[in-house]
Structure 1
């Protein structure tokens, strides 16, 4: 069974995709960028952008009835690896052990020229 997950507590999709799709026991959350869902605006600075992305992910996970403790895989996309240490420190505040698997990559450009984007895969049972 495949089910779309949608919440107004995270930014609406800016294209033809769902915020997340639940497939069986797993939730696949689309890449989230640092848009404040109330204002629709991108927040400024890598620290604020990282926090906003994590809050957006949390809202989608909550809507699906799960949380960061059930995330099995994170992918972090950065516009510059120079932000890695700061992102890593903020990321660590949202998670507890055992930490999920993770990949972090530098990309040439992200939607709306943001500094960071993240997606996750979570277990839902």
Structure 2
């Protein structure tokens, strides 16, 4: 999520001054908590509690080995949610930032040196 703020601050520096306020930050934090809660719901369906102690009652959350297909779907879901989507977002935002910075460098170079290319 921090990449979004860096992206916005670099790509739209003037707009980011009035868009990134404390109230906006609070809304984003609440949204992150809600989305995190929703994203964690599938764990309830793919794990079971196993009692592990004889003296004191205790439980472990472990895979439900009886539902192999469900676990495979859950693993794919986590792969997409934790690895693929964040990597794609970071790659896109860093690409936009690099292009913006390159454009600024080219523009400044042409202003001071009278050249049109870098």
* TM-score > 0.5 by shorter chain: no
Query: Based on CA coordinates, which of the two structures has the bigger radius of gyration?
Result: 2
Structure whose residues are more often strand by fraction: 1
TM range (shorter): under 0.3
TM-score of the superposition, structure 2-length normalised?
A: 0.21
Select the structure with the greater relative contact order (CA < 8 A; seq sep ≥ 6): 1
